[in-house]
Amino acid sequence: MSVKVCKFGGTSMADGNVINGVKKIIESDAERKYVVVSAPGKRYSGDTKVTDLLYASYAELQKSGTCKKSFTAVRARYVSLVKELNIPFDIDALLDETEAMIEREKSEDFTASRGEYLCARIVAEVLDAEFIDAKDVIFFNEDGSLDGEKSYKAISFAVSGAERAVIPGFYGRGADGKVKTFTRGGSDISGSIVARAVNATVYENWTDVSGFLACDPRIVDSPVKIKTISYKELRELSYMGANVLHSDSIFPLRKANIPIQIKNTFSPQDAGTSILPSTRYTPSGSLVTGVAGKKNFTVLFIEKSHMNAEVGFICKVLGVFVEENIPIEHIPSGIDTMSIVVESGRLSKEKLEVIIEKIKAAVAPDIIRVIEDIALIATVGHGMSSSVGTSARLFNAIANANINIKMIDQGSSELNIIVGVQNEDYEKCIRAIYSEFFN
């Protein structure tokens, strides 16, 4: 029998009216058996997400030993939600219990996870479905990575026999037995784990948009919608800032070749975007699938004559970043040069000075220069590798926009070309690239 796993994001849980719409979506298709939910998001511009209210509650708890004042806002959201849904659910007792547990656990992860937990309890009541606590079925290893096999087995066992089940997203159980969360947006990952565990026919990710757009609509007016996209293209675009779906949500699904469907809770009739494994993906014929980027990177440019002949040069440089626990984004290189690209937020002034001194001691470079305020922009598409002149078109478009390229990095798969420009040229550069390949 075909089975669909549905994950509903924060905007899909924002108020009672929307949740009633979610109920109609689920009940309209008997294959939608397993539901993963996020914490309630913003109801309107200027509103605060429940997860942010919970982080504020934890901050108050750390400062004063109680979260009572900040938790009042959380309490109000859920009381209002149950009232709007008009269901016989003792939310006050559950909230009292939750507040007491937050103060007892004194854990940031536990506190943040209660948004999804409370929401899932309510949605399970609305759907008359079984509630399955994520801490009982999703497990992490000691290093913080997902214990996939243990999680898949536990989920499969827990849902067996359930006509329909609701599971909170965003968290599971750490190796120490305590609640542990994914990074923000991690409910997408939870949904993909459940889909993998039940060998779903498709993983439906319901959001407030009708699929992936080829570009950020805040930068380009009315960009085209992507009908189909491969796992690899999605990974590249999500990593570079296209935030419809958490980039790590692909991994549990990849081995099982489970497709993802991006759907719009507020316009369920829209086709959305299909995200397909390579075995099912047929390129659309478009040269470029999408353009995405992020600001605020720092580049360390290193130059030394005969660098290419010095055994272990790159290893020694990278070893400095390992010692300082700084992840590296990209490493473009030449015969006598290499660049290290790092997110600026990870480098304080003091940390940067330490890294520079250690690199000087390790490899004695002729030149080491720091370039700050760099934006990275990725142009992604399966058609790029098989088309002559793609790079020329890309660089000409940027040059015609009078933008100076600071860095170029092309992946070995030829799936993407990344350029680095000054932050101030970020939006202009994206518009130039989009215009070249889509207009």
Residue 338 lies in a domain: yes
**Same domain membership, residue 399 and residue 350:** yes
Residue 197 lies in a domain: yes
Residue 153 lies in a domain: yes
Q: Domain of residue 52: give its range.
A: 4-276
Tokens of 408: 């170029």
Over residues 178-223, the pLDDT tens digits come to 999 998 888 999 999 999 999 999 999 999 988 888 999 999 999 9
Q: Do residues 193 and 151 make contact, with C-beta atoms less than 8 angstroms apart?
A: yes
**Same domain membership, residue 271 and residue 295:** no
Model pTM score: 0.84
**Same domain membership, residue 235 and residue 138:** yes
Residue 285 lies in a domain: no
**Same domain membership, residue 154 and residue 107:** yes
* Residue ranges of E strands in 247-348: 260-264, 273-276, 290-303, 337-343
**Same domain membership, residue 319 and residue 262:** no
- Mean pLDDT along residues 231-245: 79
CATH code of 313's domain: 3.30.2130.10
What's residue 415's pLDDT? 83
**Same domain membership, residue 193 and residue 80:** yes
**Same domain membership, residue 310 and residue 252:** no
DSSP string of 391-439? HHHHHHHHHHTT----EEEE-TTSSEEEEEEEGGGHHHHHHHHHHHHH-
Query: Higher model confidence: residue 239 or residue 93?
Result: 93
**Same domain membership, residue 317 and residue 201:** no
| Range among 250-264, 354-368, 411-425 with highest mean pLDDT value | 354-368
**Same domain membership, residue 304 and residue 266:** no
Over residues 400-413, the pLDDT tens digits come to 999 999 988 876 66
**Same domain membership, residue 360 and residue 249:** no
Q: Quick one: pLDDT band at residue 414, thresholds 50, 70, 90?
A: low
Q: What share of the chain is helix, strand, coil (3-state, %, to 5)?
A: 45, 20, 35
What mean pLDDT, rounded, does the chain reach? 92
**Same domain membership, residue 355 and residue 225:** no
Let me know how long the chain is: 439
Domain boundary among 276, 308, 327: 276
Q: Do residues 201 and 31 make contact, with C-beta atoms less than 8 angstroms apart?
A: yes
Query: Lowest-pLDDT range, 239-243, 404-408, 430-434?
Result: 239-243
- Mean pLDDT along residues 151-167: 96
Q: Closest Cα partner for 290 from 343, 230, 247? A: 230
Q: Do residues 340 and 321 make contact, with C-beta atoms less than 8 angstroms apart?
A: yes
**Same domain membership, residue 341 and residue 245:** no
Query: Higher model confidence: residue 410 or residue 290?
Result: 290
